[in-house]
Structure 1
Amino acid sequence: MGEIAGELMPILQALLPGFVMMIVFYWLADAKKPTQFEHVIQALICTGLIKLLVDGISVLAIWIGSWFAVGLWTDNVATAWSLVFAVGFGLALAYLSQHDVLYKLARKVGLTSRASVGEWRYAFLRFPDRGVVLNFKDGRRLMGYPLAWPAEPEGGHFVMEFPTWITEDGAVPQDGVTYLMVANSDVQWVEFLEPQESAK
């Protein structure tokens, strides 16, 4: 058992930057979690890219060191740079994914019609300042501003600010209720309202 652990440790240490990058990304981004196999493949690819960058910094540091020395380039320095790149790239990828930056560019060029976070989350992220009407399966309708919404269309809850029921007699505000949590399983569809600057 000790021999297997001894053989696996160098491999795990080599893949550490890729795993750290993917962990940071999946902690923050609204992305679907990959299978274990996919996660290992992503970690391998990310580790390779990070290693190329660290090797480039090593060459640059040694070249700069021919004029003046800042310190020694050691394995610990290389590992520190790897982890800095891993955390930085993980944060950057989460930001780009959350704000649909890369997919927006790809849509403009005509490479895809998809959004980075899926249609469900994209709709809510695209119109963050708009009120919505939740249409329930039993025919009721609730209007308000979604502060939080489910990550997927199948489950989760909506947190609605300023909830107002829409009936045949008109709008019926919920007096004394600022927020209302609604199960997504009760909602059949969602309507996005026109922007109302003076409504909030």
Structure 2
Amino acid sequence: MYSFQALQILIFLIPGFIAAVILDALVVRMEKKELGKIIEALIFSMIIYTIYSSISGKSPISLSKIEGSTTLFYDSKSFLWLALLSLFIPLLLSFFITNDLHMKLARKLRITRKTARASVWFDVFSDLDKHIIINFENGRRIYGWPMYHSTKPENPYIFLFNPAWIQEDEFVDLNIEGILITPEQKIESIEFLKK
């Protein structure tokens, strides 16, 4: 009896789990523990079921009493709509989170000063689309376009497109497509250029 009820609860949470997995695939977020993932799936499920019920005017799940026990019945046609909502909602959230739109509004209204991103490192590289100069601890400097970068400063990986070493204020073109800067190269600071 209890295993059947657990299965019904799991089926109820499936749209939320699908939405959470899609959002995790699209957005860089902090790792959640198991309880956090279940709570997030529950929240997504409630949002998905609420939107579905508001639009369709019916519930995808109905309760029925048969011989003294309550049973859940699922409308099979609603599963397609629930699946579409499970895809659409995380896509929309991903757009807002990636572009920091919801937090920009909250900052504008002076509700918070936070951003939606995982670190200041990620904020700066996401917002400033500019050439950079990386200054290394050993005194060397390199110029280039940060095409790819890590999301956390603890592991500062940066792929510089069309890089050039800077030696005595002269650019020495490396004549290569790009270079991957790894944490072993000990970055001291990064300059973001205006032009």
TM-score by length of 1: 0.82
Amino acid across the alignment from 1:22: A
Q: Please name the residue that 2:66 is paired with.
A: none
SS at match of 1:138: coil
Aligned-pair identity (%): 25
Q: Please name the residue that 2:47 is paired with.
A: 49
CA change 1:55–1:30 in 2 (3 A) is: same
Deviation sequence 1:92-146 (CA, Å, 0-9, x none): 1111111111011111111111111132111111112x10011112221111001
Amino acid across the alignment from 2:153: P
Between the two proteins, the alignment pairs up a number of residues equal to 179
Quote how far apart the aligned CAs of 1:184 are.
3.4
Q: Please name the residue that 2:18 is paired with.
A: 20
CA–CA distance in structure 2, aligned partners of residues 155 and 76 of structure 1: 47
CA–CA distance in structure 1, aligned partners of residues 167 and 2 of structure 2: 68
CA–CA distance in structure 1, aligned partners of residues 107 and 83 of structure 2: 32
Quote how far apart the aligned CAs of 1:169 are.
5.2
The structure whose residues are more often helix, as a share, is: 1
> How large is the RMSD of aligned CA atoms in angstroms?
1.9
CA change 1:169–1:120 in 2 (3 A) is: closer
Quote how far apart the aligned CAs of 1:180 are.
0.7
CA change 1:35–1:103 in 2 (3 A) is: same
Q: Please name the residue that 2:128 is paired with.
A: 127
SS at match of 2:53: helix
Q: Please name the residue that 1:59 is paired with.
A: 57
- Which ranges in structure 2 are unaligned for 5 or more consecutive residues? 60-73
TM-score by length of 2: 0.84
Spell out structure 1 runs of 4+ moving beyond 4 A.
none
Cα contact 1:141–1:167 (8 A) shared by 2:
yes
The structure whose residues are more often strand, as a share, is: 2
Cα contact 1:26–1:33 (8 A) shared by 2:
no
- Which ranges in structure 1 are unaligned for 5 or more consecutive residues? 62-73, 196-200
CA change 1:145–1:5 in 2 (3 A) is: same
CA–CA distance in structure 2, aligned partners of residues 35 and 92 of structure 1: 24
SS at match of 1:177: coil
Quote how far apart the aligned CAs of 1:5 are.
4.7
CA–CA distance in structure 2, aligned partners of residues 51 and 152 of structure 1: 35
